[in-house]
Amino acid sequence: MAAALHVNPTRMELTRIKRRLVTARRGHKLLKDKRDEMVRQFILLVRENAKLRKEVERELKGALADFALARAVMDNQTLEEAVLYPARSAGIVLGERNVLSVHVPTITVVQNSEKDSALPYGLAETSADLDDAIATMARLLPKLLRLAETEKTCDLLADEIEKTRRRVNALEYVMIPQFEETIRFISMKLDENERGSLTRLMKVKDMIAERQA
């Protein structure tokens, strides 16, 4: 049983504690609803993150396999010259969005020219495996950034869910029981004082009646 708060057992204090209890119950409901919705959003993001990660890992594995084949059929100097050519430039725009009062990042890729080829070199002296590897890496950039965005969002939501869970538990198992026990304590004291006052009044009345008799 929760311990009662150390307060004066007065009617004014009883009214104040009852108001705090109503506020605590309302806050508990709101926080619980927020926690449940954040958990729902978190599960959706985790599923999306798992799907994205599988896709990215599968395509990266294919790109690395193509690159290994290219190294096997091309000499090192030609390979290094091919990958040292200036690639197509792209910009990244960082922003944020609000998910249930949690500020999470957004990452958007802005490519300078959609018409430019993803390959930064000519195709005359390179193998098709190297071309496929570099084209795959260029195509994977938006997915990689989306994966980073999703994983960071999951981390932030997980932290906020844990904080909200602690607040809900504090209200449910500490504050609300304390307020309820304090209300019972003050009510008992007030009833006891009222009975004591009534007893004293009856004794005074009896004494007055005896004197008059």
Residue pLDDT, tens place only, 86-103: 556 677 888 988 988 889
Write out pLDDT tens, residues 154-166: 999 999 999 999 9
* CA nearest to 78, candidates 119, 132, 135, 130: 130
Write out pLDDT tens, residues 101-135: 889 999 888 766 554 555 555 555 667 777 777 77
Write out pLDDT tens, residues 22-74: 999 999 999 999 999 999 999 999 999 999 999 999 988 888 888 888 777 77
Q: Could you state, in order of their start, the residue ranges of all structural domains in the chain?
A: 11-208
Question: What pTM did the predictor assign?
Answer: 0.74
Contacts for 64-68: CB closer than 8 Å, 24+ residues apart: 64/133, 66/129, 66/130, 66/132, 66/133, 66/136, 67/129, 67/130, 67/133
Answer whether CATH 1.10.287.3240 is correct for domain 11-208: yes
What pLDDT shows up at residue 123?
56
